Structure 1
Amino acid sequence: AGLIKTVLSLHKGEIPPNLNFKKLNPHIQLEGTTFVLPMQVQPWPKRERRLAGVSAFGFGGTNVHMIVEEAPEVKKIINDIERPQHLLTLSARSETALLALAKRYQTQFSQTQDLPSVADICYTANTGRAHFPHRLAIGAGSTLQLRERLATFSAGKANAGMQSGSISSQTEHKLAFLFTGQGSQYIGMARQLYETQPTFRHTLDKCNEILRAYLEQPLLSVIYPEAGSPLNETMYTQPALFALEYALAEMWRSWGIEPDMVLGHSIGEYVAACIAGAFSLEDGLKLIAARGRLMQELPERGSMLVAFAEPTRLASILEAHQGQVAVAVINGPNNTVLSGNHAALQSIVQQLEAEGIETHSMTVSHAFHSPLMEPMLESFGQIAQEIQFHPLQIPLVCNLNGQVLSVGETMDASYWRQQTRGTVQFAVGMQTLAQAGCDVFFEIGPSATLLNMGKRVNNSGTWLASLRQEQNDWQVLLNSAATLYIQGVDLNWPGFDRDYQRRHLALPSYPFERQSYWFDTTDKAEVAEETVPEATEESSTSQKTQVGRQRHPFLDTYIALVHPAHTHVWESALEKQRLPYLNDHRIQGAIALPISAYVEMAQAATTEAFGKGKHVLKEIELKKLLLLPEKGSQQVQVILSSDSNEQVSFHIYSHVAGSAPNQDWTLHATGKIQHI
C-alpha cells in the first residue's frame, strides 16, 4: 500500500498529508532540519527528477528501504498512419461468461455519446486481458460497427465479421507457411497494406533499396506504377514476388506468428529458404534478381499448360518430345503442368484431346522448369556460388523431391541450379507437411493460389490467406488472424499494434459466475453423530457433560482409559477421500500429511481435554512423514499425557487400518502443551 501511494504521489506530482497525525513527539526536533510533516496536500515541484523512499519493517522480519523514481515521460508516437480495420478479441472460461462479457461491452458503448476509438478499444482488450478457452473475435472499422456486431453476437446471430469458438487445454497446432509462385502477381498488390502497415512498408522499402543494384526500374514503381508497369516481365516478377512475400512473412512474425515448417512453390521456395535462414535477405534478392534477369535474356520463351491427368498417363506422349517439353510441376491429383517448346506443346495438346484429357493454357512469360531454361544454368550456377549459405533454422520442404531439410542442414548452389530446371513436386511436399503434423496452412503471397491446390492434396486442417486479389487487404488479414485466435494460436498483441499510437481505456471487467468450488468433504455424516464432552472443574476425564458440539474431524473416537491416569487417547481413520484438499500435497508421488495437520490435531485434542482457554504448543518435533494410501485408510491415534510435574505432552501415531492390533505403531510427531 505504501508503494502504491508513493507511485501515485510521483505520478500526480503531489504530496498527501500524513494520515492520523495529530501531535509530534516532543523528543523529536524538526526545527533547523529539512524535514517537514505535510499537514495538507502539497505540490511537488519538478526539478531534475522526483525521488521517494519507501520503508518496510514487517512483523516477519522484513527490513527494506526502496528508492522510487518517477516514471519517464511516455514518448508519443508521431505517426499519422492508421489501419482501416481492427480486431477485438474477448474470451472467458465458459460460453455463458463470454456472452455476458460481450453484453457488457455492448452496454458500455451504448450508454455514451462520446464513443472511444475502436483502435484503443481493441488494443486495450487484446493486450490487457488474459485469453481463455471460449473465444470471440470481431473485425470492425469503427466503434459503431463494433457495437452492432457485439449486439449481433449477444442476440445469438451470425455475422461475416466475427468468429467464435472454444479450445481445449491440449490444443496445439503446427503451422506451415506456403510461399506463392509466379503467376500470382498483379499491379497494386498489397497497396493498402503498404500505405497503412509500417512494418510491411519498412521491409518492402528495404527490399526496394537492395534491388536498386540489380533492376533497371525501382521495384516500388513496378508494383505501384503511375502508368504502365513491366511487372509481368519475369526479370521484375520474380524479385517483386520475393520482396512482397518476405515483407508479409516479417509482418506476420512481428505479430507473433512463427512457422513450424516452410514450403515454397517454384520461386516461392527462395523466400521460404530465406525465412528459414538458408541465406540472408541481401543474398536472396541477389539470387532471385539474377534468376529473373537470366531468364528474361533467353532467346526462346516457350509456353506452359496444365494437363488434367497424372504424370504416368502422360509419360508415353512426352517421350516423343524429349528435350523439348518436360513436366514442370505436379500440383496434385490430375493436375500436371507441362512446359517447353510452343510447337511441341501444341502437338501434345492435340494428342491429349484425342485421348479425352482436358488441358488449359497458362499465361506466362517463359517456359519455366523446362529444357528451355538450360542455356542460363551455367551463369546462374556461378552467381549461386557467390551466395553464403547458412544452416537452416526452420525445417524446409524441398521442391525437387518434396522431402524435408531439417534444422541444421545447409543448402548449396547446386540445389538452386537444379531447382531452376527440375520438376516442382508440390503435391508430394503438401503430403510431407501433413505427415509431419502440420494442420494450419498459411499462404504468404498476393493470392490464395496454393490454398486451392493444397486442399486437393489434403483437405484437412485450416487454410488461411494473407491477401486475395479484389478483396480488402485488411479484411483478409484480420479474418485469418481471427481464425488463428479462435483456434488457439495466440498473437503477440503488443506487437500487433506496435506501429500505431494507442492508449489504454477503462473497459468492462470479467463477468465472474459466482460458482462455489469448495471441496465437499465426505465425512460430515460420519462425525456429526458423536458429541464432544465439555470439560469442567468438577468433572473427571471419564465423566463429562455432553453439550452436543460436533467433534473435530481429526478426532473420530475418544478412548477412555482407566490406566494410566491423566492420559487421553483419540483415534481416527484418515483416508484420501476424507481429505481431498491434500491431493496436491505430495512428496515423491504420495499424499503427505502437512505439519499444520499435526498442529490441528494437538490443538483440537487439547481443547477437548482441558476446555477452551489459552494453550501454547511448543517443542514440536516431526519424527516421520505420515503418508496416506491411495486406497484404504491410515489409523491415527492422538495421545495427551501428563508427567509427575504436570507437564502435558502430545504424541501422534499411526498404522495401516485393519492391521493386527499388536502391529507396531509409527510415531510421527511429538510436542508439549503449556496452559496460560
Structure 2
Amino acid sequence: MNSPAIVLMFPGQGSQHARMAVGLYGHQPEFTAAMDEVFAAFGTEGEAMRADWLADHPAVPLDHVTRSQPLLFAVDYALGTMLLQHGVRPWTLLGHSIGEMVAATLAGVFSLDAAAVLLLDRVHRLADAPPGGMLAVAAGADALTPFLTDEVVVAAVNSPRQTILAGPSGPLATVAEALREAELTCRPVPSLTAFHSPSLAAVTAGAVDRFAATPMAAPRIPLYSGYRAEPLTERVATDPAYWSGHPVEAVRFWPALDAILSRRADVLCVEAGPGQGLSTVARRHPAVLARRAAVVPLLPPRAGAPEADRDSVAEALATVRDRIGDARTHSR
C-alpha cells in the first residue's frame, strides 16, 4: 500500500481571528521557533505584530491589512514548517490568497526574508486602498452575474456553492442588499480591504518592480496555483507579474482543488492555518465524499482555550502519522 498523497492547504484572508494558534506558542517548539523567525524577518514591525497577535485586545485590529496578512502568513508558515520538521513530505502545496505566498516560501520560491519584505511592501500599499470589504455568498459564481458591477466582482470561487465578492464599501453594501432581497444568503468576510478586486489596482501597480528585484527560484516542492488552477511551473513561479497581480486577481480555489483531487486517489488534505474554512470546503468535494480523499485540519474551527489548539494539533499529527505509518506497514 502506498502512502497517501499529502496536500498541504494554507488559508488566506478571512480566516484570521484573535489569538489564532496562540495556544501553540511556547509549547510546540517547531511552531514557536518558526513564528519567532517570521517576526524577526518583519524587522522593526515584527514586535508590534507579535504583541497584537498575543493580545486579547490588539492595538491594531486583526482585520486590518497590516495585521491580517502578516499574521496569517506567520501562522500558516509556522504550521507548515512544523509539519515538514515532523517528517511530512507533501505531494503538493495549495494556498488560498496570501496562503500561496506561504506555500511558495516553503517550496523555496522565495527565502523567508525576501517574502517578509515583499509582504510588508504589499500591506503598506494596500493600507492606502479605498475602504472596501468582502462578502461570502451561498451561490455559484454564474448565478451572481446579474449582481456584479464594474466595482463589485467575484474575488474567489471557493466551491460550486460558495463565492466571495469584493468591492468598495458603498457599492458592496448595495449589492449585499440586492442579494438579500433575492433571498440569497450572504455574510461579510472579516476584511477591511476589497482583496482580489480592481479597486486595488492603482495602489499595487508598483509592486511588480519589487518582485522583479527579488531572487526567485523554481519550487522544490510541487506547488499548485490557486489563481490558475494548474501546477506552478518554474516560468510562472519566477514571473514578477504573476505575484504582484495577486491582490487584484480572483482566487480559484475550488477549480485548483478539483484539479488536484482528480489526478489520483488516496489523497490526504491537511489544512495548515487558523480555522477550518478550507477543510469545510474540501469535505464537500466528490472525492472526499466517496472516501478517495480525506481531510485533516490542524486547528480548531474557531477561537477557544489555548489547550484546544494544542489538543487539535496533537490529534491531527497523530492522524497524519497513522495514515503514513499504516501505508508503510502494508507496503513491507
If the length of structure 2 is used for normalisation, what is the TM-score? Answer: 0.88
- 2:153 corresponds to 1:326: yes
* CA pair 363-248 structure 1, distance change in 2 beyond 3 A: closer
Q: Structure 1: how far apart are the matches of 2:46 and 2:28? A: 27
Q: Where in structure 2 are the equivalents of 1:605-620 lying within 5 Å?
A: none
Question: Does the residue aligned with 2:211 lie in a helix, a strand or coil?
Answer: helix
The 1:486–1:429 alpha-carbon spacing in structure 2 relative to 1, beyond 3 Å, is same
SS of the residue 1:487 aligns to: helix
Show the 5 A alignment for 1:445-484: 445-458=273-286, 459=288, 460=291, 461-468=293-300, 469-470=303-304, 472-484=308-320
Contact 1:392 1:409 in 2 (8 A): no
Q: Which residue identity is paired with 1:488?
A: I
Contact conserved, 1:440 with 1:463, CA < 8 A, in 2? yes
Is 1:192 the counterpart of 2:23? The answer is yes
Aligned with 1:395 (options 222, 241, 253)? 222
Offset of residue 302 of structure 1:
1.4
Pick from 90, 94, 100: which aligns with 1:263? 94
Counterpart residue type for residue 429 of structure 1: A
Query: How far has the Cα of 1:177 moved from its partner?
Result: 0.3
Corresponding position of 1:251: 82
CA contact (8 A) 2:9 2:270 kept: yes
Task: Pick one of 386, 389, 398 that aligns with 2:213.
Answer: 386
Alpha-carbon deviations, 1:421-479, whole Å to 9, x = none? 01100110110110222610001112211101222234342211121232622211121
Separation (CA, whole Å) in 1 of partners of 2:197 and 2:270: 28
Asked if 2 retains the 8 angstrom alpha-carbon contact of 1:467 and 1:473, the reply is yes
Could you say what secondary structure the match of 1:421 adopts?
coil
Structure 1's 332 and 377: CA in aligned 2 closer, same or farther, altered over 3 A? same
**Which residue pairs with 2:63 in the alignment?**
232
For residue 337 of structure 1, give the secondary structure of its aligned residue in structure 2.
Answer: strand
Match of 1:302 in 2: 132
Match of 2:324 in 1: 488
Written as runs of structure 1 = structure 2, the 5 A alignment for 1:311-390 is 311-318=141-148, 321-322=149-150, 324-390=151-217
CA distance in structure 2 between the partners assigned to 1:338 and 1:228 by the alignment: 27
Describe the superposition over 1:249-306 as per-residue Cα deviations: whole angstroms up to 9, x where unpaired.
Answer: 11111110121100001011100111111111111111112111211122x1112212
* 8 Å CA contact 1:402, 1:432 repeated in 2: yes
> What value does the CA root-mean-square deviation take over the aligned residues?
2.2
Structure 2 distance, partners of 1:280, 1:385, is 14
1:181 aligns with 2:12: yes
Q: Distance in 1 between matches of 2:75 and 2:131?
A: 25
Q: Which has the larger radius of gyration?
A: 1
Structure 1 contact 399–419 (Cα < 8 Å) conserved: no
Equivalent residue of 1:279, what SS?
Answer: coil
1:217, distance to aligned residue in structure 2 (A): 4.9
Q: Distance in 2 between matches of 1:352 and 1:228?
A: 33
Contact 1:394 1:407 in 2 (8 A): no
Matches of 1:242 and 1:361, distance apart in 2: 22
Which residues of 2 match residues 40-439 of structure 1 at below 5 A?
170-213=1-44, 215=45, 217-225=47-55, 228-230=58-60, 231-298=62-129, 300-318=130-148, 321-322=149-150, 324-406=151-233, 410-437=237-264, 439=267
Separation (CA, whole Å) in 2 of partners of 1:335 and 1:312 = 11
Q: Provide closer, same or farther for how the CA distance between residues 403 and 489 of structure 1 changes in structure 2, counting only shifts above 3 A.
A: farther
Aligned counterparts of 1:409 and 1:384: Cα–Cα separation in 2 = 13
Task: Give the distance between the partners of 1:396 and 1:479, measured in 2 at CA.
Answer: 26
1:227: how far off? 5.3
The CA distance in 2 between the partners of 1:408 and 1:252, in whole Å, is: 28
Rounded Cα–Cα distance in structure 2 between residues aligned with 1:366 and 1:178: 23
Unmatched segments (≥5 aa) in structure 2: 328-332
* SS at 2:26 equivalent: helix
How many positions carry a matched residue from both structures? 317
Q: Report deviation, 1:233.
A: 1.8
Could you tell me whether the CA contact under 8 Å between 1:246 and 1:275 is conserved in 2?
A: yes
Select the structure that is richer in strand. 1
In the alignment, is the contact (CA less than 8 A) between 2:23 and 2:309 conserved in 1? yes
Letter matched to residue 275 of structure 2: S
Q: Once the two structures are aligned, what percentage of the paired residues are identical?
A: 26
Q: Which residue of 1 aligns with 2:330?
A: none
Instruction: Answer yes or no: is the 8 Å Cα contact 1:179–1:271 preserved in 2.
Output: yes
The AA in structure 1 aligned to 2:59 is S
Paired residue type of 2:295? W
Question: Following the alignment from structure 1 to structure 2, what is the Cα–Cα distance between the partners of residues 408 and 196?
Answer: 40
Amino acid at match of 1:452: T
Q: Is the 8 A contact 2:110 2:216 kept in 1?
A: yes
C-alpha distance in structure 2 between counterparts of 1:286 and 1:489, whole Å: 39
Letter in 1 for 2:157: I
1:207 Cα offset (Å): 1.2
Is the 2:40–2:46 Cα contact (8 Å) retained in structure 1?
no
Q: Which has the higher helix share?
A: 2
Alignment of 1:644-659 (within 5 A): none
Distance in 1 (CA, whole Å) between partners of 2:67 and 2:40 is: 14
